[in-house]
Structure 1
Amino acid sequence: MATKRDGTKATTKKAVWWDGGIHAREWISPATVIYIAYNLLSKYGQDPTITHLVDQFDYYILPVFNVDGYAYTWAKDRLWRKTRSKTSVPLCYGADPNRNWDYHWCESGASSDPCADTFCGEKAFSEIETAQVAKFITNQQGTIVHYINFHSYSQLWMSPWSYTTLIPPQFKLQDDGSIQAITALTAVHGTRYQHGTIAQIIYAASGSTADWTYGTANVTFSYGVELRDTGCIFWIGE
């Protein structure tokens, strides 16, 4: 889904990318992304803040990143995480699409075991989902300035790096963005999010979306966001 002020004309506007459902069982993330898209479309011209944001940026929104895995959680296994591709091991399917990106691929926090939930894939970008999104972002390079990969759960607003606990050169700028976001969330909903780098506040996760979009695609404001809540695992609102 692309949201633009005027899709018939060439634009020099910068762009935002948001996606949900990279991990199949995290149902609240596609729902959140769809809700955001709905508000951008339905409240343009009515809500001054939304109107300003849509006038300022183009939006690329992918509600369900891992479509096959997501469908499988509805049909067979509610807690399925990975994609559904075949692997070299019979009866072990899929790779973790948030370990499959070609940036410090399959190092810390990723597994080379096809049966593991954090299996990094047979190679970087082995999964059609990650390969196609990376291709799109590469083709838009220089245009996309903000990326959020929505997950659940734990209420965390995180920036690179995820492959190491070392701090990236632009961490202060990235973390300031995190602080602004979580302050706004607290003001509206009363929810409290932690902030920091992925590897420092949750765990190492090499080959992640946020690391690739920052380290390769040069999107400074790249984030992995863990949505609500802090204790009900993946069944929030069900």
Structure 2
Amino acid sequence: MSLRFLNIILFLVVIDSIYSVDQDYLNKYKHHTVYQVFTETDKDVEFLSVIEKKIGTNFDYWNEANNMNKWTHLMLKSEFKTLFEDIMKSLNLNFSVLIENVGNLIENQLILNSKTNMVSNDFDYGKYHTLDEISKWMNDTQAAYPKFVSVFNVSRSYEGRTINVLKISVPSSSKKPAIWFDGGIHAREWISPATVIYMAHMFLSNYSIDPDVTKILDSFDLYVLPVFNPDGYEYTWNKDRLWRKTRSKTKIPGCYGADPNRNWDAHFCEKGASRDPCSDTFCGMSPFSEIEIKGVADFILKNNDSIVSYLNFHSYSQLWMTPWGYTTNKPKDFEIQVNRFLTLKEKKVIRLHHQDNGSAAAVNALIKLYGTRYQHGNIASTIYVASGSSVDWTYDTAKILYSYAVELRDQGQYGFMLPPDQIIPSGLETFEAMKALSFYILKQLK
């Protein structure tokens, strides 16, 4: 078979795969625009809040201004663009278009994803995968590493899907501490499951080859949950690429799901969460009303004597954050972990007020491969106030000291539609961060 003929076949496969997708799915965000607004003062933020109330649920925050980054990213439907821009100009607010056409970006991501590794039947780590493909990968990984890997069901979703965890446990004569990391709690953040999967692959494939990996797996068990919110994730592949929440029914017809990272029993539904079922930050009817969250929380609490670190991966913004989300106050452990272990050279890489040791170790490792710069600090000060989050609950209730929320690539150029060619770089740099964090924790446990 000639190379030209093969390329024609591959091109036809790509075209067929794109046009087999529901056209409503592709057209939903045609002509939606993402703006960045410079919100330097509290008054600027207040102006945006007033505009949001006028426009309603058609005003979708992608990223909010904070102490470190004064740019707010928000998406609007095409019919509100003129109104929004006129208001911005009348208020003399600094704004610009970040993404002109969200629908085109979604379609381009799907096209690029369809082009990757179409010839091989092997799992392609440089590609975004469906829920079924991820489930198959978990089972195949267990079969490939029967002495190290087990897969177990930790919970079920509202629509009845199993929520499976992959456990990596090198045989040991004694019980080991464990590190938990998960992705996909917010459905549209596709890079988080992809990165979590790639890190698990790197740990397994480098055991007995890389001395650092070998030391880590000889010292820790790893719990890996690639897709925390399977109903929402499945929905992003078939119905709405930018769906964020679970898919449970609410008291308002047509409004589905709760924000699974506002549903934990940690200052439930206070600041940064909504009681409106139609809101993307709807906290749910009660703490742990979402079955997905309840099952995982029960498992973590039951095993909190061994789980020493919890990491909840999101996108986007490039942030490595510690508790708390519900208040800008910092827990006592944040102050305890300030800047003690960094070398002088590392201190020159990143200078931030109140450097947390674990976060700083991770962030300094992240920058080394591709120069990707992350900021770090506590959630409420670094990104925004958010109550009812997993990290606050694992720290406050499960007493897991090294609890982190991580926002992966990028800083807004692609947002939630990060191209697949960035999956492996994201996975590699985050893997380096995980190794650095693991060694830091190991040092503290001795």
**TM-score past 0.5 threshold:** yes
- 2:386: which partner in 1? 205
Deviates more, 1:166-175 or 1:150-159: 166-175
SS in 2 for 1:171: helix
Query: Root-mean-square deviation (CA), in Å?
Result: 1.1
SS in 1 for 2:320: strand
Could you tell me which of 191, 194, 197 is aligned with 2:372? 191
1:71 aligns with 2:234: yes
Could you tell me which of 387, 395, 404 is aligned with 1:214? 395
AA partner of residue 415 (structure 2): I
- 2:31: which partner in 1? none
Could you tell me how far apart the structure 2 residues matched to 1:68 and 1:34 are? 18
Could you tell me which of 405, 414, 417 is aligned with 1:235? 417
AA partner of residue 235 (structure 1): M
- 2:404: which partner in 1? 223
- 2:22: which partner in 1? none
SS in 1 for 2:324: coil
Within 5 Å, which residues of 2 pair with 1:50-199?
Answer: 50-172=213-335, 173=337, 175-199=356-380
How many pairs were matched up? 236
AA partner of residue 233 (structure 1): G
Question: Which structure shows the bigger proportion of residues in helix conformation?
Answer: 2
Could you tell me which of 156, 160, 167 is aligned with 1:2? 167
Could you tell me how far apart the structure 1 residues matched to 2:198 and 2:399 are? 27
Could you tell me which of 170, 179, 182 is aligned with 1:16? 179
SS in 2 for 1:51: helix
Cα deviation digits, residues 149-198 of structure 1 (max 9, x gap): 00000000000000000111101328111011000011122100000010
Q: Which runs of 5+ in 1 are unaligned?
A: none
The alpha-carbon deviation at position 215 of structure 1 amounts to 0.5
SS in 1 for 2:398: coil
The alpha-carbon deviation at position 125 of structure 1 amounts to 0.2
SS in 1 for 2:394: helix
Kindly tell me: are residues 146 and 94 of structure 1, through their superposed partners in 2, closer, same or farther at Cα, counting changes over 3 Å? same
The alpha-carbon deviation at position 12 of structure 1 amounts to 1.7
SS in 1 for 2:272: coil
Could you tell me how far apart the structure 2 residues matched to 1:41 and 1:132 are? 26
Could you tell me how far apart the structure 2 residues matched to 1:47 and 1:129 are? 35
Identity %: 61
AA partner of residue 132 (structure 1): G
SS in 1 for 2:321: strand
SS in 1 for 2:245: coil
The alpha-carbon deviation at position 50 of structure 1 amounts to 0.8
The alpha-carbon deviation at position 10 of structure 1 amounts to 7.0
| Structure of higher CA gyration radius | 2
SS in 2 for 1:170: helix
AA partner of residue 18 (structure 1): F
Could you tell me how far apart the structure 2 residues matched to 1:163 and 1:147 are? 18
AA partner of residue 364 (structure 2): T
Q: TM-score, normalised by structure 2?
A: 0.52
AA partner of residue 301 (structure 2): T
Kindly tell me: are residues 10 and 22 of structure 1, through their superposed partners in 2, closer, same or farther at Cα, counting changes over 3 Å? farther
AA partner of residue 361 (structure 2): Q
The alpha-carbon deviation at position 126 of structure 1 amounts to 0.5
Could you tell me how far apart the structure 2 residues matched to 1:204 and 1:127 are? 21
Could you tell me how far apart the structure 2 residues matched to 1:125 and 1:143 are? 23
Cα deviation digits, residues 8-31 of structure 1 (max 9, x gap): x77421000000000000000000
Highest RCO, 1 vs 2 (Cα 8 Å, sep ≥ 6): 1
Q: TM-score, normalised by structure 1?
A: 0.97
Could you tell me how far apart the structure 2 residues matched to 1:107 and 1:146 are? 25
Cα deviation digits, residues 173-228 of structure 1 (max 9, x gap): 28111011000011122100000010001101100010000000000110000000
SS in 2 for 1:150: strand
